[in-house]
Structure 1
């Protein structure tokens, strides 16, 4: 056996041994249940989307996908938990612009980095936010709300349970000169309850969590935060047009992350399955009925989007005049 042939044979055997070793050390993902963390309470828009995704992802991966609500601190509790989890694909998170776009500008101290501490997996959808008031409040449009606010300046307040609601309301309050009192809540459903009960004057909410109250007449919608009317509520005017502020344009985004450092094959598997789920006609219809605009994108496109949104929301928070807590 000449030296050249011996070297080739040796290299081939070594490669085969390494391949066998790698296969033995890395069983096919997943082999156990996946924890799917949400940053907000049950009944919130993100919770509803998480459960829709989890049900279908479980079927696709043939392993349990368990949704866990870790609400509080504007999503920081959930984000901190996932950022510190092992990057093995068995702990993932359904996150929003609250945790990954706005929080870095709303809080002086944040115990996670929205870019460095996470692995982007897939984008799911956007949620246009709407200006909502109690069905009992004697106003039917934004002009009437502003007039009502001037007459009841001492008692006017707005509720919020997430960053989109906070930034939208603060921006609206600032540009209209209402000077309403901001009232924070742990979650959007709690804030909505107090608006319905008259303990807060108005709020900005997503259509998903507000839908039932709108249909029952407990809430009235006055405008939408996007710069164009949404197909989800075509008769609803934009806030931008109503207050003559073309730059008023805010919508919430929803996506899925894991901890930083996840293996690429695991990310690719999750991203492929989740985008397939979010792109299906059944899921698109479900999201639309919830008041969401489907925007499924894989990991390689979702990552740059998150970085871009971090800059955009920083500017929006600054324009709203919000002082970091």
Structure 2
């Protein structure tokens, strides 16, 4: 065989090998899904439900691995440092991604570039509640009561979202108030129910269960649209506070530089799962509305908007990095 023939044979073999590699179906082995929430909790249950459905579509095991701590940063960091091959992803809320760099010293990463957005699957807001025994029926009633207290109104806060949302609401109505801090939202809602604190922005699941038990009264949701599972509840914007919209977008992310064909495949699967009727019911029961985006690029744009809002609210609430 001549030198030219050997060269051509070698080149053909290389091309064939590359082609065979490129055609390797994804996934061809188990995929690890990082869950930054404790096993058995609400977040963990949602992640495991999606993992089970992804396994059916991908025809490979999608194994949930809990890496808990530091407000989700431990899980986020693990995925950021993982190989960008599509075999390690994370399902979490956007607040842990865009918020942590603003409130945590150890979260020194670019929230818009450290992870590759795959797709969203739900939107979770907060619900403004007051004691059911009070005579406050609307957001306007509460606003008037707060103003009448001339800075003496009290609001409960156990999470970063609550610590940002309450000052934003107070600023919007031209009033001031005093934060009463709690370690757990359940304790905070208990004091609101007892009339010891004027109001709280609680998560939907807790707010609805406590309202059903007759302990609190729900006034409005912070989401852009009315909740599909509580259609009689107005939004804060409908209550007259334009622009007062806050929610956490839950979705899937992969390490930066993960191949676009893998990201797009996962995106299509996530949307397919979210559009299932039983998944919509499941999300509603978890206090969330389904949220599918058209593409990973659209999700990236939404993340930019979320980060800009967090920057503004962290400054407003005077939260310092810890």
Relative to structure 1, the CA distance from residue 19 to residue 227 in structure 2 (aligned partners, 3 Å threshold; closer, same or farther) is closer
Do the aligned residues in 2 keep the contact of 1:133 with 1:195 (CA within 8 Å)?
yes
1:211-250 equivalences under 5 Å are 211-227=208-224, 229-242=226-239, 244-250=240-246
Aligned residues between the structures = 317
Do the aligned residues in 2 keep the contact of 1:118 with 1:257 (CA within 8 Å)?
yes
The equivalent residue for 2:290 is 294
Q: Secondary structure at the residue paired with 1:157? A: strand
Relative to structure 1, the CA distance from residue 79 to residue 3 in structure 2 (aligned partners, 3 Å threshold; closer, same or farther) is closer
1:197 deviates by 6.3
Q: Secondary structure at the residue paired with 1:284? A: helix
**2-structure distance, mates of 1:262, 1:155:** 49
2:275 aligned to which of 275, 279, 296: 279
2:33 aligned to which of 32, 35, 43: 35
The equivalent residue for 2:16 is 16
Relative to structure 1, the CA distance from residue 148 to residue 111 in structure 2 (aligned partners, 3 Å threshold; closer, same or farther) is same
Q: Could you report, residue by residue, the CA deviation over 1:138-158 in whole angstroms, capped at 9, with x for unpaired residues?
A: 533334434554459657232
Q: Could you report, residue by residue, the CA deviation over 1:232-286 in whole angstroms, capped at 9, with x for unpaired residues?
A: 42322332344x4322222221111122233444433322322211122322233
The equivalent residue for 2:318 is 322
Q: Does 1:262 align with 2:225?
A: no
**1-structure distance, mates of 2:186, 2:29:** 36
**2-structure distance, mates of 1:272, 1:253:** 17
1:63 deviates by 0.8
1:87-236 equivalences under 5 Å are 87-107=84-104, 110-137=107-134, 139-146=136-143, 148-149=145-146, 150-151=148-149, 154=152, 156-163=154-161, 165-176=162-173, 177-183=175-181, 185=183, 188=185, 191-192=188-189, 195-196=192-193, 200-227=197-224, 229-236=226-233
1:309 deviates by 2.7
Q: Which runs of 5+ in 2 are unaligned?
A: none
**2-structure distance, mates of 1:104, 1:146:** 32
RMSD of equivalent CA atoms: 3.6
**1-structure distance, mates of 2:51, 2:244:** 34
Q: Secondary structure at the residue paired with 2:237? A: helix
1:56 aligned to which of 38, 53, 58: 53
Do the aligned residues in 1 keep the contact of 2:152 with 2:177 (CA within 8 Å)?
no
TM-score by length of 2: 0.79
TM-score by length of 1: 0.78
Do the aligned residues in 1 keep the contact of 2:34 with 2:79 (CA within 8 Å)?
no
**1-structure distance, mates of 2:288, 2:299:** 17
Do the aligned residues in 1 keep the contact of 2:124 with 2:223 (CA within 8 Å)?
no
The equivalent residue for 2:303 is 306
**1-structure distance, mates of 2:100, 2:209:** 28
1:118 deviates by 0.9
Do the aligned residues in 2 keep the contact of 1:39 with 1:72 (CA within 8 Å)?
no
Q: Which runs of 5+ in 1 are unaligned?
A: none
Q: Could you report, residue by residue, the CA deviation over 1:34-92 in whole angstroms, capped at 9, with x for unpaired residues?
A: 23313578544x4453233123223333314325262543x334323432344343432
Do the aligned residues in 2 keep the contact of 1:80 with 1:111 (CA within 8 Å)?
no
